[in-house]
Chain A
């Protein structure tokens, strides 16, 4: 396939800074050289290659928008472009970076003590330590406020009990930011690999995000020192602050998947001959390609403008919900239509489309399902919450 040169129908590049373009191109080149040639094997084997962790740390893209403690303090637009290029490789790669930066490093950076920041952030920015984020539980997904994982103050330490599920990076993480109830109030705790009573078995059998580690976190009388609680936040605002950043990254990331699927569909349809002509010369195929370009372009403008609002601090969470929901939705549909254009070839690992399609099924569900984001917007429009009948 001819090399990917970006998709920028509305010349969004003219809105980017020189630094943002250089960072995007750096990640794009790395993904082309170090990820795409290996990603199908990684999926087949169900592994996230450790060399990718090392390279992401060396490039300096982990915790990109955070400032200080070894983090570069890039713009949110630059962070979005990083996510886009990583997910053009694979959603598993972008998930690794999202969880590390937005879900594990961010709460320590925003809510942690000076000592916690000094201890964890430089090693996480360099990729030496991997982080994970424990919020979702087996019985509490969209409804994290009713979590049952609890922390008890035992005087000289906290005791954690409970279980978390669907935790990206869990098994390979040295650091877990875990949300648990202390006297009925949700608080953040830093759990380290090797803490007594803590285990993180990997979940197997996924048909999606196969090149990403997904785990359970199990706490059985897990003892952690008193200085491991994040003092700066109480309640759901803590995890939701993290999720806002991660969801923002997803709104860019999935455009990378969509671009990869569009690029593959365009290239394939120009070379595939049926009835003596390339299938790209037929109106039904052109209609599909034009629709893909239209949706990707709209998604880019949405993500870019949201990025500028993140950078100047004028965003509201509902805008992130809309961008995450819309862009995942169109990326998934683009992957499906691209698979259709590829015909039977679309199911082969010779082309990236089926892998992206399967990945995006997860992305549609995690970090707030598509429907939950609709409910967030519904509440914004009407002022009436429709999440629960108990309110």
Chain B
């Protein structure tokens, strides 16, 4: 049976207003959601299962609050939901080591993840996990077809590249052409009844630590122009500053 794992991460809603208190982001009042690129990963994992059979497991690392996104994944069709309890604030090395152990414990022939998380934007999890597992690695795919191997399309120089990916592999997903499926009431009711499997895995100590967090500089105030005489200047600014022409 094909075991497929999809990695999902809980991040602040991309519309949320972020507040920083004493050098730390305060997420206490922020709505948390599944990282948007992970939704494409879940969709791809479900399509993989529909093509070849097997089982899809959604996996996340974090505290009990992260179970919401596992339930969200369950509501749209994954079979198992697993949360790894581990130390907080891990660096990429520690996290990828924990994930590699979890994938080995659960057993899988394909692992999908988003191309990057909406909070850090690092994009290191997929390749880093593949490296630790010694598996093939493909990043940023936008579509795929499935058999004994995976035929995936990813952006390349000047266009798209079609790739043959042998299994096992770790594949990170970009926004593709295919529509991401949405939950329905039946799925939500199944998710409510579903049990989250919780495992504890200790990772290596993190060597990279966060010293301070701050907001990006505020955007400068907008400029307004009136009358036809300003047209030349506006056109120049659109071309040279805004880079939209």
Contacts and interface: CB of A to CB of B under 8 A. Distances in A.
Contacts of A3: 15
A19 B182 contact: no
A60 B68 CA distance: 21
A135 interface: no
Interface stretch (B86-94, B123-131, B184-192): B184-192
B71 A18 contact: yes
A151 interface: no
Interface in B56-91: 68, 71-72, 75
A18 B159 CA distance: 44
Interface residues of A, number: 18
Interface string B8-23: 0000010100000000
A60 B184 contact: yes
B42 to A, nearest CB: 15
B192 A19 contact: yes
Interface residues of B, number: 16
Most A CB contacts (10 A, CB to CB) among B13, B72, B182, B186 go to: B182
A22 B191 contact: yes
Given A5-B31, A29-B182, A60-B186, A18 B192 contact: yes
A59 B185 contact: yes
Contacts of B183: 22, 26
Contacts of A19: 188-189, 192
A45 to B, nearest CB: 25
Contact of A64 (B68, B71, B185, B191): B185
Interface string A4-19: 0100000000000111
B185 A23 contact: yes
A18 B192 CA distance: 7
A195 interface: no
A22 B75 contact: yes
A2 B16 CA distance: 11
Contacts of A30: 182
Given A5-B15, A22-B75, A74 B192 contact: no
Contacts of A26: 75, 182-185, 188
Sorted nearest first, the 6 A-B pairs with minimum C-beta distance are: A60-B185, A19-B192, A60-B184, A22-B188, A72-B185, A59-B184
Interface of B: 13, 15, 31, 68, 71-72, 75, 182-186, 188-189, 191-192
24 contacts: A2-B15, A3-B15, A5-B13, A5-B15, A17-B192, A18-B68, A19-B188, A19-B192, A22-B72, A22-B188, A22-B191, A22-B192, A23-B185, A23-B188, A26-B75, A26-B182, A26-B183, A26-B184, A29-B182, A59-B182, A59-B185, A60-B184, A64-B185, A72-B185
